[in-house]
A and B are shown apart, each in its own frame.
Chain A
Amino acid sequence: MHIVVCVKQVPDWDIPPASFKVDEAAKKVVPPPGVAPVPSQFDAIAVEAAMRIKDAAADTKVTIMSLGAASARDVIKHGLAMGGDEGVLLVDDAFNDLDSTGTATVLSSAIKKLGDVGLVLTGRQAVDWDLGVTGTLIAEMLGAPVITFAKSVTVAGGKVTVERVLPDAFETVEAPLPAVVTVSNELGEPRYPKLQQIMAAARKQVNQWGAADLGLDAAALAPRLTLERLFVPVTDTKVEIMEGDTPEEQADALVRRLQEAKLI
């Protein structure tokens, strides 16, 4: 079976909040100097989900697909080092600043162009916009069922079986292939590529396609959601640290303050 994993390149999320800056005029995040972009966290976990299927069925082919800048080749290479077979890089000036619908239009067009795809995996949400809609939109555009928030994904007999994470429950859901599944962090940590695998990944094929290759024009990618403003919220909280020479004194001071504030 052929699995496509969609991986997005994002600014490194694992930075101190104090280093997080936004250029409000450009409506873009300004990464701290020297901090390279990374694969979106949940997308790397989606690659892990694909690899577990491949571990169980060696005839599985995994394609790592990314839509983004030319630098997104790095996140494809990371997925290939984890064990992916081939990459597809979707780059075009027409793809800059797409909304979710536009993003899903490009990705689903590329998946259709591949032709023989049985399962599409994405992260539950990208760690930049945190929308969590692209997987569902790809499914709609492919006419395939979608199952969101997977903690495990298995494939057998033309069906995908997913354990879903809900806030207060776990669900087992089945759907016929082809299907789209979005993967959550409960699936577990993505595997760490070995040096040998990283070297092997450098030789794996990455196809690059633009709008013309996918038969897409500006009208097909017109945004439905417009970003009006991006800003860092101002917090005016000033913490009151409890003084005291011992933990008991600190604890007593806290309880006193909570009582004064009528909180307990």
Chain B
Amino acid sequence: MANGVLVLAELADGAPAPITAELVGAAQRLNAGPVSAMLIGSGVEGAAARITGVETVYVVDNPALAEYTNDAYTQAAVAAAQQAEPAVILLGQTDTGRDLAPALAYKLNTAAAMDTIALEMKDGRLHTTRPAYGGNARAVNSFAAAPAVATVRPKSQDAVEGGSAGRVVKVDFAAGAVRSHVTARTVASSEGVRLEDADVVVTGGRGLGGPEGFQGIEELAHLLGGAVGASRAVADLGWRPVAEQVGLTGKVVSPTIYIAVAVSGASQHMAGCSGSKNIIAINKDPEANIFKAARFGIVGDYKTVLPALIAAVKKAKAGA
């Protein structure tokens, strides 16, 4: 009888990535039986002991899993799920999770709810809430098939850190056919704070008029110890790298302070930043949608407002 919640653990630099503790937290709060984790990769077994708050860690450790491929990871996740027999499987809405979840669900004769932001058990069944229509709507889904598979948006769930490490169970795995191969990989260069981890994000939009408009954005971000973001229009125009794009198809960020400069606030952009604690909007159009989500706003041209704001922040820092 299927029971409990199985989460996909992810590692960053050999240690559990933040999403892992967030998934463990979400799984514990579901109160749907024992929480276990699956850890997939090559040479990852040693990290299993660092995954806490779970009863069992199912480890699939194999050289065929050194690099992520949809085929190999799907096979590995199926093997772990068949051994764990969970009622619910949670993955992060990450590079790995968003690619893996639909294939895993299909192989298990079930379906996946993607990019969920709230999870609850109702009458013994998982109900998920997720943004739809570019963030304009919320959709609540239940499952007519089992196990329920869901990906969880990073930072949407409180992490549970600590607790005891799980019992490690090695999953027998022989890699089958792996049809796709990664032949090259270039890491997008990023300086300073990672956008997703930044406490302050300063984002520039198309209203800046060109890449040179980002000088002030960079200066303000640097002053506040934050990261630079870009709207999709800006990334598509090539003014800033794709890696800085905030929105539905870019990064989803939830910093303490999100400063949107000359960003109109289209739904697909808000889908990437609406989780921010305090949105500050600077826009010359008082009707811009961004003001509807903002806590503080300045109506004015960024060309004069931004230098004034940089000066005011410098003054405040000097006084502190």
Contact = CB atoms under 8 A, between A and B. Distances in A.
A242 B133 contact: no
A263 B257 contact: yes
B243 interface: yes
Interface of B: 70-71, 95, 98-99, 101-103, 105-107, 110-115, 127, 130-134, 136-145, 179-188, 190, 196, 224, 232, 235-236, 242-243, 248-251, 256-257, 266-268, 270, 278-281, 286, 289, 291-301, 304-305, 307-309, 311-313, 315-316
Interface stretch (A75-83, A173-181, A193-201, A202-210): A173-181
A185 B249 contact: yes
24 contacts: A13-B267, A20-B136, A124-B249, A127-B133, A128-B132, A130-B132, A133-B102, A147-B70, A167-B251, A168-B243, A172-B182, A174-B183, A175-B180, A185-B249, A225-B111, A225-B141, A225-B145, A228-B141, A229-B140, A235-B292, A239-B296, A240-B296, A247-B305, A255-B315
Contacts of B139: 129, 227, 229-230
Nearest to A253: B298
Contacts of A17: 136, 266-267, 270, 289, 292
Nearest to A231: B138
Contacts of A128: 132-133
A22 B133 CA distance: 11
Contacts of A250: 298, 300, 305, 308
Given A176-B179, A242-B296, A254-B298, A20 B312 contact: no
Contacts of B297: 239-242
Contacts of A158: none
A225 B113 CA distance: 8
A56 interface: no
Contacts of B267: 13, 17, 20
Contact of A231 (B137, B185, B256, B294): B137
B183 A172 contact: yes
B110 A147 contact: no
A141 B106 CA distance: 9
Contacts, number: 237
Interface in A230-259: 230-233, 235, 237, 239-242, 246-248, 250-252, 254-255, 257-259
**Chain A interface, >50% SS class:** mixed
Contact of B107 (A22, A130, A140): A140
A29 B190 CA distance: 39
Contacts of A259: 316
A258 B226 CA distance: 15
A264 B309 CA distance: 13
Contacts of B138: 229-233
B264 to A, nearest CB: 10
B252 to A, nearest CB: 10
Contact of A225 (B71, B101, B144): B144
Given A136-B103, A140-B107, A254-B309, A167 B243 contact: yes
Contacts of B185: 169-172
